[in-house]
């Protein structure tokens, strides 16, 4: 009989502990998911590209240029004056152009490639913006001739004349 009343007491105590732990988990979890000083950007929101945790102003400039490139890919609209291309840009497109091209030729090649597709989604998913040659990669999903396509895009930069310029643009 004593054993039975002990187990009833133990059961209610365990139940109250479980409820307390779940309550703590419920209230603490959302704040633990985001570290202090960290902020989340909504996906596909290119209006606020500079992240506060970037270590150097050059990193912020590189990220801003990557954001402009991302927007140009999504809208299929590149403008040589709004983007900074190096004098010679290495372009490599699987099944297409490959070699060094001037800024205007690069814009023309990219316009031709993107105008034949309807972009469904594109976002740079990996950045390496430290060092002398930052780069970003992402997956473009588009429709071309009624078929869904996927392409990996790689863009690298170099600091030249106190600004970042695009030196390489690969689509494969």
Per-residue pLDDT tens digits for 107-126: 999 999 999 999 999 999 99
- The rounded distance, in Å, linking the Cα atoms of 48 and 104 is 28
- In this prediction, what percent of the chain has a pLDDT beyond 90? 54
Give me the pLDDT at residue 46, please. 45
Whether residue 39 is predicted with pLDDT greater than 50 in this model: the reply is no
DSSP letters for the chain: -HHHHHHHHHHHHHHHHHHHHHHHHHHHHHHHHS-TT---PPTT--S----TT-SSHHHHHHHHHHHHHHHHHHHT---TTTS-EEEEEEEEETTS-EEEE-HHHHHHHHHHHHHTSEEEEEEEEEEE-SSSS-EEEEEEEEEETTEEEEEEEEEEEEEETTEEEEEEEEE-
Compute the radius of gyration of the chain from its Cα atoms: 25
Q: How many CA atoms lie within 13 A of 125 on its CB side?
A: 7
Q: Output the CA angle 149-155-156, nearest 5 degrees.
A: 165
Q: Taking Cα atoms as reference points, which of 29, 63, 60, 32 lies closest to residue 136?
A: 63
Band of pLDDT at residue 79, cut at 50, 70 and 90: confident
Q: pLDDT tens, 17-34?
A: 556 665 554 555 444 444
Band of pLDDT at residue 16, cut at 50, 70 and 90: low
Residue-range domain boundaries for the chain: 57-171
Average predicted confidence (pLDDT) for the chain: 79
CATH architecture designation of domain 57-171: Roll (3.10)
Q: pLDDT tens, 132-151?
A: 999 999 999 999 999 999 99
More confident call, 100 vs 80 = 100
More confident call, 78 vs 156 = 156
Would you say the pTM of this structure is higher than 0.85?
no
Give me the pLDDT at residue 55, please. 60
What is the CB neighbour count within 10 angstroms for residue 61? 20
Q: If you average pLDDT over residues 149-164, what whole number do you get?
A: 95
Give me the pLDDT at residue 17, please. 54
């Amino acid at each position: 009989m004593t054993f039975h009343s002990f187990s009833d007491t133990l059961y209610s105590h365990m139940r109250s502990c479980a409820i307390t732990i779940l309550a703590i988990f419920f209230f603490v979890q959302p704040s633990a998911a985001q570290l202090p000083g960290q902020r989340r950007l909504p996906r596909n929101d290119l209006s606020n590209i500079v992240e506060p945790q970037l270590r150097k102003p050059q990193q912020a400039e590189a990220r801003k240029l990557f954001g402009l490139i991302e927007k140009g890919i999504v809208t299929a609209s590149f403008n040589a004056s709004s983007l900074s291309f190096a004098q010679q840009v290495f372009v490599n497109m699987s099944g297409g152009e490959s070699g060094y091209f001037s800024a205007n030729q690069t814009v023309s090649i990219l316009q031709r490639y993107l105008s034949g597709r309807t972009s469904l989604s594109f976002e740079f998913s990996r950045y390496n913006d430290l060092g002398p040659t930052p780069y970003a990669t992402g997956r473009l999903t588009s429709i071309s001739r009624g078929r869904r396509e996927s392409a990996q895009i790689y863009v690298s930069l170099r600091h030249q004349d106190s600004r970042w310029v695009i030196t390489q643009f690969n689509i494969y």
